[in-house]
Structure 1
Amino acid sequence: MMTKTLERLTTQQAMPEATKVVIIGGGIVGVSAALTLAERNVPVVLIEKGHIAGEQSSRNLGWIRKTSRHFDDVPLALAADKLWADMPNRIGHDLGYNQCGIMFLAKTEEQMGTHEAWLKSVKELNLDSRLLSANEVNNQVPGGEQQWAGGIYTPSDGRAEPAIATTKMAKAAIAKGATIIEHCAVREITTSGGQVSGVMTEHGEIKCEQMLLAGGAWSRRLLGHHDVSLPTLPLVCSVMRTKEMQGPTDISVGGPDFSFRKHQDGGFIITQRGALDAHITLDHLTIGWKYLEQLRTQRRFLRVSMGKHFFDDLRIKRRWKGNQLSPFEQIRIANPAPNSALNLEALTNLRNAWPAFEKAELDEEWAGIIDVTPDSNPVIDHISRIPGLTLATGFSGHGFGTGPAAGHLAADLVANTSPIIDPTPYRFSRL
């Protein structure tokens, strides 16, 4: 299920014969890139197989953070902070952006040591992150009944509302000249003389000079069809939203086995931060070895299962022709069922820590697919095997927060202009 609060967009269905840039994927990264290019008067057409923000861009937690990111990934997060803050002026709409601060809690001294090590690793970046004592945690988030070893807090981290952000940005992109076409699946990338020349969609071909693939968890399948191996694996995150209630703080808080953040409607977004569902697919068996280091440190977070999902995935095509039905028409929107047991675990753990959540009532729950790379950093780079193709995908569950900057960077690469930050950490070749 998807969140019932998602704002929908109505787009044109008339497809132009040609444009300068085609963007595949209507999540926050693709939409941000379209907005950036439209502002530069670059002709751009964004094609989405389902509807704008139908998958992870509306199903994430809405956190916008620098805390605990890889050192190389922090500059993108810093750039995103500025873009989020300026977005209401840029597009004429509030997206719920609030620098409420984000706090991660430590139950043990070992967990506290992890926070301390991260803070030392980013010391030269001069962030406002700081370690908290147990008393400071209690002062910032009063009413708790659990003893914490401490925590780490970044006041400039924040949140925005995934159910409206990408849609509002898409409306602004259209107003500034971008063309967005929903319910139109791309079947193949077409080339001429070894160079991108267009895309074959279910409704015909669009010619173009440059292409950006921002297809999230679907990017691996489209690239695989063109003999480019992108190592990403799917994980499923389940989320719940409560009805309006009085909570202990406006700060977004991540504990070892729960997280919560205030929602604009007065409730709270809650998840089991210590668990993700890993439904085994053929891809897990073929490229899982690339994830051995991640498994060594994070296997306790994974709830692994093998069964129906494996066979459902096997039935999805890996090869097809441009005049044949593609996987992207078979499944317009990836819509995994939420794991209600995980959500209940999270709420139980949260109630044990802050009794104020005893009054929490479920309003809705949903789940989304996260596309994870072996090092948990995305790919934002040109694809040398297919000149003219740029890739922006593999955001590993934290793409919403950096989405405006990631889309901006992708637009810079597509247009061959000075990049907003150094793209080197996101090169494809590292994988």
Structure 2
Amino acid sequence: MSERLTTDVAIIGGGTAGCAAALALRKRGLSVVLLDKGFCGAGASGVNFGGVRRQGRSFAELPLAARARPLWDRLPELVGEDGEFKATGHVKLARSEADMATLETYAQGAAEHGLDLKLIGPNAVRDAYPWLGPKVVGASLCADDGQANPRLVGPAFARAARRAGADIRELTRVESASFGGETFETVAAGGLRVESRWLINVAGAWAGKVAEWFGDPAPVATLAPNMAVTEPLPFFISRSIGVCGGDVYVRQVDRGNVVFGGGAGWGDIDLDRARPLAPTTETAMAKLIDMIPALKGAMVIRSWSGLDGEMPDHIPVIGPGLHHPRLLHAFGFSGHGFQLGPAVGEVLCELIVDGETSTDIKAFAIARFQ
């Protein structure tokens, strides 16, 4: 039996950004219907590394990342749960003098955008982190960055949005969407039709297909992160850690498990399937042991992947569509959207309610792909 709903805003996609937008819109008094083909927070928002970092981002992303950072401190207030967020700091390691020069150049540019990074030389990095391997020659520290549990954060925003009055439909795959001159009509499996004045496309790896329905160019590639976690170990990795070049990253949670990733798994957007690849995991493990020799012999107990969208310039699309000003896009976070999600939701809400946002998003316009 078909069902028809009428709402102020329809949202396609139930990741952290979509659910944060639903929550923010409800707080401003707008009605919201959110549709997700699976479960909220189970897509790219739930399969990533869990890094809550500003360091290492494109400078274009830093204003948005700066806006997002205090929201992580306020998670218990915003959604009633802490998402296991901790401001552990984020360390980016250099494995050569060329890497160290890259970190120094980045720190200089980041300072112009208000991000304070501490450069650490070879002796100081050994004193601070004696468990690092001999290939590490220095590092850059962002002391206020951190980490959280991606399995918890997206669902927490969804629950908060539902409590605030958003109509959230999980296991509801969108089949089409169109604009009829005054309103959008979004059609989902099972005969559900949603009529809305505004439409938000936060469909992750599938967002390019949604954008195509409205004639917006969106060269979204499929990204499948390759992730793994070890058995619980005695706690010693106090920071969230990346490397210059980004080929491996690692953090340890309070329970002792070491979460790490690097390289790409296998993913097929048409099949809606992704899986980790054993050779990729083994390569990441070898690099990880080079960086942290104490992890040699640790047992990997689980590996996973998922599907995310990646843009050619590795920064997202955020803002109005080219042909329909009441169509908003937010996708293509290219594997590093987890930290940004809560702020993206607020920005989308501001664009709808206020007609503008206080955060600089010019670099993210979809027009750059025309």
TM bracket (short chain): over 0.9
For the residues of structure 2 that align with 1:406 and 1:104, how far apart are their CA atoms?
A: 25
The alpha-carbon deviation at position 200 of structure 1 amounts to 1.4
The answer on whether the counterparts of 1:52 and 1:167 sit within 8 Å (CA) in structure 2 is yes
The alpha-carbon deviation at position 339 of structure 1 amounts to 1.1
Equivalent position to 1:358, from 271, 296, 308: 296
SS in 2 for 1:118: helix
Residue 187 of structure 2 is aligned to residue 200 of structure 1: yes
| Larger helix share, 1 or 2 | 1
How many pairs align?
366
Q: Where do residues 121-132 of structure 1 align in structure 2 (5 Å cutoff)?
A: 121-132=109-120
Deviation digits for residues 156-204 of structure 1, max 9, x if unmatched?
A: 11111100001011111111111100111111113222x4422111222
Equivalence for 1:86: 74
Percent identity, aligned pairs only?
Answer: 28
TM superposition score normalised by structure 1: 0.80
Which stretch of structure 1 is more off in the superposition, 229-238 or 60-69?
229-238
Deviation digits for residues 390-431 of structure 1, max 9, x if unmatched?
A: 101011111111110011111211223441412212111122
Residue 278 of structure 2 is aligned to residue 340 of structure 1: yes
For the residues of structure 2 that align with 1:227 and 1:72, how far apart are their CA atoms?
A: 26
Q: Where do residues 4-403 of structure 1 align in structure 2 (5 Å cutoff)?
A: 17-193=5-181, 195-202=182-189, 203-255=191-243, 256=245, 257-272=247-262, 275-276=263-264, 316=270, 334-403=272-341
The alpha-carbon deviation at position 149 of structure 1 amounts to 2.2
SS in 1 for 2:339: helix
The answer on whether the counterparts of 1:140 and 1:249 sit within 8 Å (CA) in structure 2 is no
The alpha-carbon deviation at position 355 of structure 1 amounts to 2.5
The alpha-carbon deviation at position 93 of structure 1 amounts to 1.1
The answer on whether the counterparts of 1:370 and 1:397 sit within 8 Å (CA) in structure 2 is yes
Residue segments in structure 2 that go unaligned for 5+ positions in a row? none
The answer on whether the counterparts of 1:77 and 1:401 sit within 8 Å (CA) in structure 2 is yes
Deviation digits for residues 248-269 of structure 1, max 9, x if unmatched?
A: 3220111354211123542011
User: Is the alpha carbon distance of 1:412 and 1:344 closer, same or farther for their aligned partners in structure 2, counting shifts above 3 Å?
Assistant: same
For the residues of structure 1 that align with 2:21 and 2:322, how far apart are their CA atoms?
A: 20
The alpha-carbon deviation at position 56 of structure 1 amounts to 0.9
Deviation digits for residues 304-345 of structure 1, max 9, x if unmatched?
A: xxxxx6xxx6xx5xxxxxxxxxxxxxx5xx331101221122
The answer on whether the counterparts of 1:65 and 1:102 sit within 8 Å (CA) in structure 2 is yes
Q: CA RMSD in A?
A: 2.0
For the residues of structure 2 that align with 1:361 and 1:14, how far apart are their CA atoms?
A: 50
Equivalent position to 1:423, from 353, 361, 365: 361
User: Is the alpha carbon distance of 1:124 and 1:19 closer, same or farther for their aligned partners in structure 2, counting shifts above 3 Å?
Assistant: same
User: Is the alpha carbon distance of 1:149 and 1:39 closer, same or farther for their aligned partners in structure 2, counting shifts above 3 Å?
Assistant: same
Which stretch of structure 1 is more off in the superposition, 353-362 or 127-136?
353-362
The alpha-carbon deviation at position 354 of structure 1 amounts to 2.0
SS in 2 for 1:245: coil
The alpha-carbon deviation at position 352 of structure 1 amounts to 2.8
For the residues of structure 1 that align with 2:56 and 2:9, how far apart are their CA atoms?
A: 34
User: Is the alpha carbon distance of 1:197 and 1:350 closer, same or farther for their aligned partners in structure 2, counting shifts above 3 Å?
Assistant: closer
The alpha-carbon deviation at position 62 of structure 1 amounts to 0.4
AA partner of residue 204 (structure 1) = L
User: Is the alpha carbon distance of 1:231 and 1:156 closer, same or farther for their aligned partners in structure 2, counting shifts above 3 Å?
Assistant: same
User: Is the alpha carbon distance of 1:108 and 1:14 closer, same or farther for their aligned partners in structure 2, counting shifts above 3 Å?
Assistant: farther
The answer on whether the counterparts of 1:34 and 1:44 sit within 8 Å (CA) in structure 2 is yes
AA partner of residue 198 (structure 1) = E
For the residues of structure 2 that align with 1:137 and 1:346, how far apart are their CA atoms?
A: 22
The answer on whether the counterparts of 2:13 and 2:35 sit within 8 Å (CA) in structure 1 is yes
For the residues of structure 2 that align with 1:386 and 1:91, how far apart are their CA atoms?
A: 32
For the residues of structure 2 that align with 1:402 and 1:344, how far apart are their CA atoms?
A: 30
AA partner of residue 367 (structure 2) = S
TM superposition score normalised by structure 2: 0.93
For the residues of structure 2 that align with 1:201 and 1:370, how far apart are their CA atoms?
A: 21
User: Is the alpha carbon distance of 1:230 and 1:415 closer, same or farther for their aligned partners in structure 2, counting shifts above 3 Å?
Assistant: same
User: Is the alpha carbon distance of 1:44 and 1:252 closer, same or farther for their aligned partners in structure 2, counting shifts above 3 Å?
Assistant: same
AA partner of residue 263 (structure 1) = V
AA partner of residue 40 (structure 1) = R
The answer on whether the counterparts of 2:35 and 2:168 sit within 8 Å (CA) in structure 1 is yes
For the residues of structure 2 that align with 1:175 and 1:381, how far apart are their CA atoms?
A: 27
The answer on whether the counterparts of 1:50 and 1:183 sit within 8 Å (CA) in structure 2 is yes
The answer on whether the counterparts of 2:37 and 2:171 sit within 8 Å (CA) in structure 1 is yes
For the residues of structure 1 that align with 2:132 and 2:335, how far apart are their CA atoms?
A: 28
